[in-house]
Amino acid sequence: MGNTIGKIMPVPGKSSFLAPIAEKPPEPGATCRILIVDDDAPLRHTLSNALSKTGRSFDDCSNIADAIFLLERNAYELILLDYLLPDATGLVLLDWLAERRRGEAVIMISGEDAIEAAIGALRHGADDYVRKPYHIAQLQRAVESALHKTTLERANRLMSQRLRDSERLHRYLVESAPDLIFTLDLAGCFNYINPRVESLLGYSREALMHCPFVSLVVPEDLDHAQSLLAPDTLSSTGFTTELRLRRGNGELQDGGMASVAVSLAGLPILDDQHRVTGLYGVARDISEQKRAEEIITFQAYYDQLTHLPNRVLFKDRLELAIAQAQRRMGTLAVMFVDVDRFKLVNDTFGHAEGDALLRGIALRISATLRRGDTLARLGGDEFIILLPDISQPEDAETTVNKIFQALSTPFNLSHSDFRATVSIGIAIFPRDGTGAEELTRHADIAMYQIKRSGKNGFRFFDSSLNTHHRERIALENDLRSALEQGEFELYYQPQVDLSRSRIIGTEALLRWKHPAHGFINPAIFIPLAEELGLIGEISRWVLEQACHQLALWRHDGHRDLRMSVNLSSHDFDNRNIIGIVTDCITRHDLPPTSIELEITESMMMRDDAGVAAKVRQLRAAGFGVAIDDFGTGYSALAYLQKFPVSTLKIDRSFIRDLEGPQTSPIVSAIVAIARGFGLQLIAEGVEQRTQAETLRALGCDIMQGYYFAYPGSASQATHWLQAPPEAVLL
């Protein structure tokens, strides 16, 4: 196949820029095609023989029409064209070729010896003219030179095509580049700038032409830019730097930033003598990257939710403050602040509300602090405050009081108002420690102590707390293994109905027989178990044990006996509490009415549908549900409507104060409420005969307390069932 000039001249167009340049010079050995157009058949044959060479091939024809036919299908390097042909003169073919801008070289061969014919042929585009008769060597020379010429021309065409393509390619790349690309003259003014300037900075290219580059630089970076661009200091290898460029006004109206951070690479333009004549510049928008860097820094040192410093930054500031306090022999305070009942808010109202509350608390606490103090969030509901310069420990107390004051107004959460309280532990430098870590830990221990003794308060660290703390950790470890080690036992306290003079039920109360410390009070280890997430397992064990015991007693003939079991609020987080209880009574063949589950008022406070629905389900399944310690917490009659409980247990603090029917408006009120709602009433903590009598007079017949019996072991309780204590017969 010959070289295919006509077909493969690249047609410039966007897509062809990046395509390899199609036209190639003829490779050595490739076929060079020659067309012989002559009506003299023997001559055509002679010619092709005479001109034959390796790599050449010949077509021939006898008239213009056939020649055109062949030319329309093939490309040739050379045409040997007779002047006079049967259908027209060779000039017609020359015109045909010219019109189509064909690349074939043409040698006109003619018997016409008139010079006009030669001139006419050359004028019509022939490359050479050979007059008949000719010497074969003469023709060979003409052919060689014509072919040589076409090769040159083609190379030439190819070169300029490549140049054009390359030019277009580079222009295309520059003009559509995502970077700002420009050239500056010696005076530092733009003499080329790509269109990116419009989207990046909001200026038109035209407006910037011949303006100084530095007019785009923000004032803060101006000195730096000017020193970089000074031609005498410009290094031949160029520079890279970061600068901020000003945006045009148009962009600002969109609320965009006033400047764009760019990384700028500059390379001097040199002439033959290596003198600087200008500068190439490429500027890349790195504002996104800058912002990301800022965010990362922010994230490393600040809390995302409250935008307060985080633990890391706090530690930094504390260490600095300690160093300064050491130098000036000063005093500083670290205050550990923990939000009380925060988990309740989170569980009850959801995380969004919880987050809003934390932000609100952060704001209010911040407002009580002085400049120079630091409030940081350690995570969860824990905050920490640094007062870097106080004159005496009592100054910290002043701040604490301001914080309590600031929190005294309830927060408006979207469902209800919430009065947040906090527990604060304070450690003082140098009294309570000299290192950042130590001070923080001691403030934490003091805070923890407040939590244990009822929350909503503050306390200074004192070194005896440290040992308590260690004991607590030891206790935690022991509690984890108590169940496995069989260290738990259930005690039972009778509930008596004085109107019938009999024991109608027992409350199951958990006991932990610690191998070293003896009996440990449930008031101590139950909250610990809740905190450690062990309560679910423990409650299950209690239920199992209580049901087992009740089944034994029923088997012994105490058919109407009931069993009260205490549940923790965490048991209600366990979705399947109903399943667990139901399964338990089924296995022990107990009717649901024989089981009463005791829940506390604070659980009802958790206003979410979940708890209410579970109480309703338990009641629907036939279980009794009692509100324990009624009257102490957030009692509201509205809860009683929402939670269809069966029993109220009057808290023993009201019983303690009971001296005669007139002296107890609260117990009277609770009795009235129970009647109004059709609820059973149990008075607990009855220690004296007079209390029992007063309760009866008020209309409360069911009681529980030391007056009748202390909680006792299963065998002890079995004994009471057989022979009730005397007091029951009152």
Using CB under 5 A as the criterion, which residues of the chain lie in contact with Ca ion when the complex forms? Answer: 566, 598, 628-629
Handedness of CA 215, 218, 219, 222 (dihedral sign): negative
Q: How many CA atoms lie within 13 A of 680 on its CB side?
A: 16
How many residues make contact with ligand C2E (CB under 6 A)? 23
**Angle, helices 90-99/115-123, rounded to nearest 10 degrees:** 20
Instruction: Name the segment binding ligand C2E (CB under 6 A); options: 173-181, 409-417, 560-568, 630-638.
Output: 560-568
**Residue 243 binding result from Ca ion, ligand C2E, none, given CB thresholds of 5 to 8 Å by partner type:** none
CA 695 to each of CA 335, 502, 565: distance values in angstroms, whole numbers, following the listed order:
48, 16, 24
Residue with tokens 């990257």: 289
Between 347 and 628, CB nearer to ligand C2E: 628
* Residue 474 C-beta: closest distance to ligand C2E, Å: 21
* Residue 393 C-beta: closest distance to ligand C2E, Å: 36
User: Is 493 near ligand C2E (CB under 6 A)?
Assistant: yes
Taking the C-alpha atoms of residue 585 and residue 389, their distance in angstroms, rounded to an integer, is: 63
Between 345 and 682, CB nearer to Ca ion: 682
* Residue 461 C-beta: closest distance to Ca ion, Å: 33
**Residue 706 binding result from Ca ion, ligand C2E, none, given CB thresholds of 5 to 8 Å by partner type:** ligand C2E
Q: At a CB cut-off of 8 Å and minimum separation 6, what does 150 contact? A: 77, 78, 103, 104, 105
* Residue 568 C-beta: closest distance to Ca ion, Å: 11
Between 351 and 719, CB nearer to ligand C2E: 719
Residue with tokens 């920490």: 384
Taking the C-alpha atoms of residue 221 and residue 573, their distance in angstroms, rounded to an integer, is: 59
**Residue 705 binding result from ligand C2E, Ca ion, none, given CB thresholds of 5 to 8 Å by partner type:** ligand C2E
Taking the C-alpha atoms of residue 503 and residue 517, their distance in angstroms, rounded to an integer, is: 33
Residue 385 sits at the vertex; the CA angle it makes with 461 and 467, to the nearest 5 degrees, is 20
In the list 1, 137, 523, 723, the residue contacting ligand C2E (rule: CB under 6 A) is: 523
Give the three-state DSSP class for 146. Answer: helix
Count CB-CB contacts under 10 A for residue 545: 18
User: Is 505 near ligand C2E (CB under 6 A)?
Assistant: no
- Calculate the CA 498 to chain-centre distance: 64
Residue 664-703 contact track with ligand C2E, rule CB under 6 A, x = bound: --------------------xxxx----------------
Between 393 and 633, CB nearer to ligand C2E: 633
Q: In the beta sheet, which residues pair with residue 119? A: none
- Calculate the CA 545 to chain-centre distance: 47
Q: Which of 78, 86, 90 is nearest to 144 (CA)?
A: 78
The phi and psi torsions of 434 (rounded to 5 degrees) equal: -120, -5
Q: Which of 709, 729, 658, 176 is nearest to 495 (CA)?
A: 709
Between 191 and 653, CB nearer to Ca ion: 653
Taking the C-alpha atoms of residue 211 and residue 413, their distance in angstroms, rounded to an integer, is: 58
Instruction: Name the segment binding ligand C2E (CB under 6 A); options: 125-133, 206-214, 243-251, 705-713.
Output: 705-713
Between 218 and 509, CB nearer to ligand C2E: 509
* Residue 419 C-beta: closest distance to Ca ion, Å: 25
* Residue 594 C-beta: closest distance to ligand C2E, Å: 17
Burial class of residue 274 (count of CB atoms within 10 Å of its CB; 0-12, 13-18, 19+): exposed
Q: How many CA atoms lie within 13 A of 673 on its CB side?
A: 24
Instruction: Name the segment binding ligand C2E (CB under 6 A); options: 15-23, 87-95, 230-238, 516-524.
Output: 516-524
**Residue 521 binding result from Ca ion, ligand C2E, none, given CB thresholds of 5 to 8 Å by partner type:** ligand C2E
Judged by CB under 6 A, the chain residues 638 through 667 that form the site for ligand C2E are 652
Between 71 and 650, CB nearer to Ca ion: 650
* Residue 691 C-beta: closest distance to ligand C2E, Å: 9
Amino acid (one-letter) located at 327: R
Between 228 and 683, CB nearer to Ca ion: 683
User: Is 388 near ligand C2E (CB under 6 A)?
Assistant: no
User: Is 522 near ligand C2E (CB under 6 A)?
Assistant: yes
Between 298 and 519, CB nearer to ligand C2E: 519
Taking the C-alpha atoms of residue 564 and residue 399, their distance in angstroms, rounded to an integer, is: 47
**Residue 687 binding result from ligand C2E, Ca ion, none, given CB thresholds of 5 to 8 Å by partner type:** ligand C2E
* Residue 498 C-beta: closest distance to ligand C2E, Å: 15
**Residue 610 binding result from ligand C2E, Ca ion, none, given CB thresholds of 5 to 8 Å by partner type:** none
In the list 391, 467, 499, 521, the residue contacting ligand C2E (rule: CB under 6 A) is: 521
The phi and psi torsions of 574 (rounded to 5 degrees) equal: -70, 110
Taking the C-alpha atoms of residue 230 and residue 447, their distance in angstroms, rounded to an integer, is: 63
In the list 361, 365, 542, 683, the residue contacting ligand C2E (rule: CB under 6 A) is: 542
Between 493 and 582, CB nearer to ligand C2E: 493
* Residue 407 C-beta: closest distance to Ca ion, Å: 30
Between 22 and 578, CB nearer to ligand C2E: 578
Between 566 and 646, CB nearer to Ca ion: 566
* Residue 482 C-beta: closest distance to ligand C2E, Å: 13
Taking the C-alpha atoms of residue 155 and residue 641, their distance in angstroms, rounded to an integer, is: 100
Between 441 and 570, CB nearer to Ca ion: 570
Residue with tokens 């805070």: 447
Between 571 and 628, CB nearer to Ca ion: 628
Between 376 and 567, CB nearer to ligand C2E: 567
* Residue 492 C-beta: closest distance to ligand C2E, Å: 10
Give the three-state DSSP class for 289. Answer: helix
Show the DSSP H helices in 257-335 as ranges.
287-301, 311-327
Judged by CB under 6 A, the chain residues 603 through 632 that form the site for ligand C2E are 628-629
Structure tokens at 600: 């506390």
Contact 533, 566 (CB under 8 A): no
Q: At a CB cut-off of 8 Å and minimum separation 6, what does 97 contact? A: 71, 79, 104, 106, 125
Instruction: Name the segment binding ligand C2E (CB under 6 A); options: 47-55, 371-379, 476-484, 563-571.
Output: 563-571
Taking the C-alpha atoms of residue 129 and residue 109, their distance in angstroms, rounded to an integer, is: 6
Contact 438, 459 (CB under 8 A): no
Taking the C-alpha atoms of residue 538 and residue 510, their distance in angstroms, rounded to an integer, is: 9
In the list 120, 281, 631, 711, the residue contacting ligand C2E (rule: CB under 6 A) is: 711
Q: Which of 335, 376, 372, 370 is nearest to 358 (CA)?
A: 376
* Residue 684 C-beta: closest distance to ligand C2E, Å: 6
Contacts to ligand C2E by CB under 6 A: 493, 508-510, 521-523, 526, 542, 566-568, 598, 628-629, 652, 684-687, 705-706, 711
